[in-house]
Amino acid sequence: MIVTKRALPRRTFLRGVGAAVSLPLLDAMIPALTAAAQTPAAPQRLRRLGYVYMPMGCDRARWTPPGGDRLGELPFILAPLAPVKEHVTVVSNTELRNAYPGTHATSNSAFLSAARAKLTESADYFLGTTADQVAARHIGRDTQLPSLELSMDLMALAGQCDNGYACVYQNNLSWSSPTTPLPSEAHPRVVFERLFGDGATGAERRASLRARASLLDSVMDEFTTLQTQLGPADRARLAQYLDTVREVERRIHRAEAAARDNQLPDLARPAGVPASYADHARLMFDLQVLAFQGDVTRVVTFQLARETSNRTYPEIGVPDPHHPLSHHGNDPAKVEKIAKINRFHVSLFAEFLAKLRATREGEGTLLDHSLLLYGSGMGNPNVHDHDDLPILVAGGAAGRMRGGRHIRFARPTPLADLHLTLLDKVGVRLGSFGDSRGKVGDLFEPVSM
């Protein structure tokens, strides 16, 4: 790598054998971005769009905030968001009409497509292009990865999964066309190598790792050279970023080592991931932070679990499988357990938001420059409805959104309206999306103080 007195390009990498580590936004890059700011495309440079899917709806009574438009006291499920509440807006009374007749498969498939899935058990499935992939074609075209699709579970099911719907509908959250589902990745090592590996097959990278112990070792010479060309703040920022990358790699290595000694593997979980669900989820969220920070991608989708998941959560006192619990029949004990699972998932998302907020970028933070949609395609899981969905939006959208609010629509509003609005705020202009009726006009209006 050759460094001159001119500003560093935003797409600068540290390259080594089998590694290509993109850099976070440095002060040394700001002049280049400022000069480029005269072009119409510049406002999109620091915007990221993320979607986090929570399966099987929730207990609405413990999700919905009380009171008026401002977020005051948070209900049980949303309470973990308190430290980042000012960056969060809860959105009530959205619906997915195209998810009916009401199944787990269509909850997942309609969440980002707002489209009606073709009822088929075979390979002639048909849905629609999802919002994340619409965004990827615009804000993702200048990045290493146009989009990143992540999950927590193996795609172990094929054929028919739910009331005559092919398993593809609940296996895949992202679709690049109505006939092209995009498989998600649940293994942190594979994701890490997608973000930072370069010019080698997976087997070649693993052989190289055995010799070096770390993918980052081969870029250290370039790192040392670059450090001599940067100011003190940039040196500290770059060192912190690479330390974080190395720590994530260490955690992945520890999980893989522990898995080799585990005589009773979890067949629903990829081999070599952390045994704890929370540790696995935190790793996957941390990889998203690094992907955004290095501008490796600007569009991410993440399934916290798949629909009909039978995962148990003994770490929070819920040893019962999630899916059977969701058919609670209004049993108070079962509903309480569902709420505990919902809260657990939200707590991991809240930690993710806190890390984005703690990561400085330019004049703000990664959270300021991100727009994130969290929620489910199912409302009340006991009746498989798709009304009054649990939805929240977080982030700053490059200064265009104020949080700390609860927006409750006066009438049922297509979730597609929200998708259309979020796409518009990251620079993707569409006349319509799915069954949308128009953009949500008040989501990004500042709240009077």
Domains belonging to the chain, first-starting first, are 1-45+192-272 (no CATH), 48-186+279-292+299-449 (3.40.720.10)
pLDDT profile of the chain (449 residues), mean per 10: 58 81 88 49 63 97 89 95 95 97 95 97 95 96 94 71 89 97 93 81 59 74 89 92 92 81 52 87 97 96 95 96 96 97 98 96 91 97 96 80 89 97 93 95 54
Cβ-based neighbours of 141, under 8 Å, separated by 6 or more: none
> CB count, 10 Å around CB of 445?
11
In whole angstroms, give the CA distance from residue 113 to residue 179: 12
In whole angstroms, give the CA distance from residue 309 to residue 255: 23
The whole-angstrom distance between residue 387's C-alpha and the CA centroid of its chain comes to 23
Query: What is the structure's pLDDT at 264?
Result: 47
Query: What is the structure's pLDDT at 257?
Result: 82
Q: Which tokens belong to 55?
A: 């399966």
- Residue 189 host element (H or E): helix 188-196
111 backbone dihedrals φ, ψ, rounded to 5°: -55, -45
Q: ∠ at Cα 73 (67, 394), nearest 5°?
A: 90
C-alpha dihedral sign at 231, 233, 238, 239: positive
Query: What is the structure's pLDDT at 42?
Result: 38
Q: ∠ at Cα 195 (194, 199), nearest 5°?
A: 60
Question: Parallel, antiparallel, or unpaired for β 405-414 and 48-53?
Answer: unpaired
pTM of the complete model: 0.90
Under 8 Å between Cβ of 335 and 328: yes
Query: What is the structure's pLDDT at 383?
Result: 94
> CB count, 10 Å around CB of 385?
18
Q: Is 283 helix (H, G, I), strand (E, B) or coil?
A: helix
In whole angstroms, give the CA distance from residue 327 to residue 378: 13
DSSP secondary structure letter of residue 139:
H
* Complete DSSP assignment for 106-157: HHHHHHHH--PPP--SSS-------HHHHHHHHHTTTSSSS-EEEESS----
Scanning the structure block, which residue is given the tokens 């009438």? 411
The length of the chain, given as a count of residues = 449
Query: What is the structure's pLDDT at 41?
Result: 38
In whole angstroms, give the CA distance from residue 134 to residue 157: 27
105 backbone dihedrals φ, ψ, rounded to 5°: -60, -45
Q: 364 forms bridges with which residues in the sheet? A: 361
* Complete DSSP assignment for 335-365: HHHHHHHHHHHHHHHHHHHHHHHHSEETTEE
The whole-angstrom distance between residue 400's C-alpha and the CA centroid of its chain comes to 20
